[in-house]
Amino acid sequence: MSRNGQDGALVSIGTFRMPAGTRFTQHTHRAHQLAWASHGTLTVDVASRRWVLPTTRALWIPSGVPHEVVSAGHTTMTSLYLSASPSGPGRWAAVQPVGVRPLLAELIGYLDDPGLGAEHRARGEAVFLDLLTPVTATALETPIPADPRARQVARELLDDPACALAVDAWARRVGTSGRTLARLFLAGTGMTFGRWRTLVRIQAALPALAAGEPLQRVSRGVGYETVSAFVAAFRRETGTTPGAYFGAGRKKAGVRLPASALCPRLPAG
């Protein structure tokens, strides 16, 4: 791990190398956090909500909010910590996805320079705050239903998104009817069973897409028989194609990080 910041600085930055499967179990910070995968893809769980973040998205996590972070593939997480004092930059009171354009990514790298002078840092931090732009994240959020039967189905689908069982078959496995299970998903997640499964499949595909794997392999790996069916589902839920979703960010958004940025645990703050 490396963590840069100066006395009196508004923003301090921590970088974490996360091999595939790395999990930072539920924790909180005294500071507000902006969690960003500068390379790879991050999964962040907050209560029953889950976000999968490519390099073009970050997640604002307010001070004191419990959250868990997981890397599906090799990932570098860059976390920005902002003071939670009354005079600090309290952007949002709730968890909020934020767009990371190349300009913001470059600015984060600029602020991560430990030799940056106080005057330059202050100007850079002001621009950084101006560039924090909220984005919608409909396709990146999959609430977990509270009912134990629906929750069991949800957990199994998260483990195996490609499973093609219909809702009636899932219902028999958990001792209920298809109509009841469908109702439980709608009540517990705010969406139909079919749409929830689509979102899970899109989430599961993001790490492979971020790694540049071929669309045919990715689509089959998450349960689609054809690339066109996968792309249509992806566009329907995100409003864009897989390639455009990552856009130039996959090549440009990464910040060059030191080889020493390996952290086995989270910072205390």
Q: Identify the DSSP state of 143.
A: P
pLDDT attached to residue 265: 34
What is the token pair recorded at 243? 């390639």
Q: Which CATH number applies to 142-240: 1.10.287.130, 3.40.50.300, 1.10.10.60, 1.20.120.1200? A: 1.10.10.60
pLDDT attached to residue 88: 62
Question: What average pLDDT does the structure give for the chain?
Answer: 84
Name the residue ranges covered by the structural domains of the chain: 2-139, 142-240
The DSSP code sequence of 101-130 is -HHHHHHHHHHT-TT--HHHHHHHHHHHHH
Question: For the segment 158-186, what is each residue's pLDDT rounded down to a tens digit?
Answer: 999 999 999 999 999 999 999 999 999 99
pLDDT score of 260 more than 60: no
pLDDT band for 266, please (50, 70, 90 cuts).
Answer: very low
User: 39, 56 in Cβ contact below 8 A?
Assistant: no
Question: For the segment 59-111, what is each residue's pLDDT rounded down to a tens digit?
Answer: 999 999 999 999 978 899 999 999 887 656 677 889 999 999 999 999 999 99
pLDDT band for 114, please (50, 70, 90 cuts).
Answer: confident
Domain at 2-139, CATH class = mainly beta
In this prediction the pTM is 0.69
pLDDT band for 212, please (50, 70, 90 cuts).
Answer: confident
Count CB neighbours of 21 within 10 A: 10
Q: Which of 7-11, 103-107, 224-228 has the lowest mean pLDDT?
A: 7-11
Sheet strand arrangement including 57-61: 2-4, 11-18, 75-82, 32-39, 57-61, 96-99, 133-134
pLDDT attached to residue 248: 41
Higher pLDDT residue, 197 or 261? 197
pLDDT attached to residue 95: 92
